[in-house]
Amino acid sequence: MLSTLTLVYRHPPIRVSALAIFFFGFSGAATSPYMSLVGIRELGLSDVVYSALMFAAAIVNVSASVIAGILADRLGHFRSPMLFAGTFGVVGFGIVYLLPSQLVFIIAALVFIPIFNSVNSLIFANVRAVSAGMPVRELIAVNSAIRAVLSLSWVLVPGVVGAMLAGGPSMLPAYLLAALACLICLALFFFGMPKEPPPVAENRPHYSFFASIRQIGSRSVVSRLLAIALISSMLHVNGAVLPLVVTGKAGGTTADVGVIVGIVAFLEIIFILFWGWVEVRTSTVVAMSAGAVVYCAYLIFLGLADQPRDVYILTLVSGLGAAGIIAIPITYLQNLIADRAGLGSSLIAVNIFVSGGLSSLLFAVGTAVSDYAGTAILGAVAGLTGIVLLWLLDKPFATATDR
């Protein structure tokens, strides 16, 4: 673990990316837990309008991430797209705080904030680009460390913001904090990224927009993306059913939910680095499958839990499995379009979108034919399906460089 952190620290571009992704995570962690409170309770949006807004925002986010990746590949650098997206974050969060109204909230949530969220893919793309030439072992370690920093922001920020605003008349100041975090991201991009783009190789191919889209839609990419999305959908299913199982069948309280989520988030940071260590000693497919199997077991036992103590015991299993599902697919997805850092990294956003859609379908089916516990088990079945598909598509014992 220490060697991984040292590796990040001694490379200035990677160090800047690590700091930027922390403040990117800060903006989301400060606002996401309270977005529905602001939109519905404070500004008066209906449940239907809010749900439609979140779905449309997800479409804008994945579209913006893909377009930003294509643009960055054509430019040959990531500084300009990052500055552009970062500006949208400052404006989006800032106007909600300064001019709170239904219309402003809708515009910010539908346009400005989703475009800013493309920064996530751009940072990983930038890390991929500046890490070119690194041994595979170091590249995997760097990706794991960057993802762990993102998780760290989600461990620290929600509780701090919640404590700061507890008892206050409004949660809108969370948007001010998010805007300041975006401003720090902008400063890091402006002062920390090289102002002069690297020289463009004469033989470097220039892909058109539609050729890039066809690359994403190719059979090789789509089939593997589906496998990863099935595995990743377990995280979304858990996010929906965990509070319901804990406060329902298990007989716990909302306080238990908060503590359990916090414990798991903390464990993820440690286990993300562990899975990076496992990946370079086995293969990407084996490590990802192992993490997914662990998480499948967690969801099955979550469905069987009938008291809060059971769920607390499962936090160790949950943290271990979730860390593998969160971290390992990053390198795998980037390698699906290995010669284009921007487009390959945009698959991270595509995976989030597809896995979120699959989880919504699983939740709807699970709750229609069973209860919340049964839905958790159905999520595990989907994850196992993803593992089988992954093994059918890739050689499970290939080295980490093969995929």
Tell me the three-class secondary structure of 349-385, residue by residue: HHHHHHHHHHHHHHHHHHHHHCCHHHHHHHHHHHHHH
Q: Give the mean pLDDT of 1-6.
A: 62
Q: What is the pTM of this model?
A: 0.85
Same domain (yes/no): 59, 181:
yes
Residues 183, 195: Cα–Cα separation, whole Å: 18
The answer to whether residue 197 is domain-embedded is no
The answer to whether residue 100 is domain-embedded is yes
The answer to whether residue 204 is domain-embedded is no
Mean pLDDT of the chain: 87
Give the pLDDT band (50/70/90) at residue 199.
low
Same domain (yes/no): 156, 232:
no
Same domain (yes/no): 122, 181:
yes
Same domain (yes/no): 322, 240:
yes
pLDDT at residue 75 is higher than 70: yes
- Where does a domain end: 160, 192, 224? 192
How many other CB atoms are found less than 10 A from the CB of residue 328? 31
Distances (CA, A) of 372 to 152, 262, 294, 379, 398: 29, 21, 20, 11, 38
Q: Going by C-beta distance under 8 Å and a sequence separation of 6 or more, which residues neighbour residue 58?
A: 114, 353, 356
pLDDT at residue 2 is higher than 70: no
Same domain (yes/no): 253, 330:
yes
The answer to whether residue 202 is domain-embedded is no
Residues 380, 53: Cα–Cα separation, whole Å: 29
The answer to whether residue 106 is domain-embedded is yes
Same domain (yes/no): 239, 358:
yes
Please name the residue ranges forming H helices in 76-101: 79-98
The answer to whether residue 209 is domain-embedded is no
Same domain (yes/no): 167, 258:
no
Q: What is the pLDDT of residues 212-246, one digit of tens each?
A: 888 888 898 999 999 999 999 999 999 888 888 88
Residues 376, 99: Cα–Cα separation, whole Å: 41
Same domain (yes/no): 172, 304:
no
What CATH number is attached to the domain comprising 239?
Answer: 1.20.1250.20
Both tokens assigned to 49: 């309008």
Give the pLDDT band (50/70/90) at residue 34.
confident
Same domain (yes/no): 285, 246:
yes
- Where does a domain end: 159, 177, 192? 192
The answer to whether residue 334 is domain-embedded is yes
386: containing domain = 215-395
pLDDT at residue 201 is higher than 60: no
Same domain (yes/no): 141, 234:
no
Q: What is the pLDDT of residues 347-395, one digit of tens each?
A: 999 999 999 889 889 988 998 888 888 999 999 999 999 999 999 998 6
Which pLDDT score, from 0 to 100, does residue 160 have? 85
Same domain (yes/no): 236, 367:
yes
- Where does a domain end: 141, 159, 192? 192
- Is-contact 126 76, C-beta < 8 A? no
Residues 175, 35: Cα–Cα separation, whole Å: 9
What's the structural domain count of the chain? Answer: 2
Question: Which residue has tokens 């160790």?
Answer: 316
Residues 350, 62: Cα–Cα separation, whole Å: 6
Residues 74, 9: Cα–Cα separation, whole Å: 29
- Is-contact 262 159, C-beta < 8 A? yes
- Indicate the angle between helix axes 2-9 and 136-165, nearest 10 degrees: 90
The answer to whether residue 42 is domain-embedded is yes
Please name the residue ranges forming H helices in 99-218: 102-107, 113-116, 119-130, 136-165, 173-192, 209-216
Distances (CA, A) of 401 to 203, 296, 397: 24, 26, 11
Which pLDDT score, from 0 to 100, does residue 118 have? 94
Which pLDDT score, from 0 to 100, does residue 36 have? 84
Same domain (yes/no): 186, 265:
no
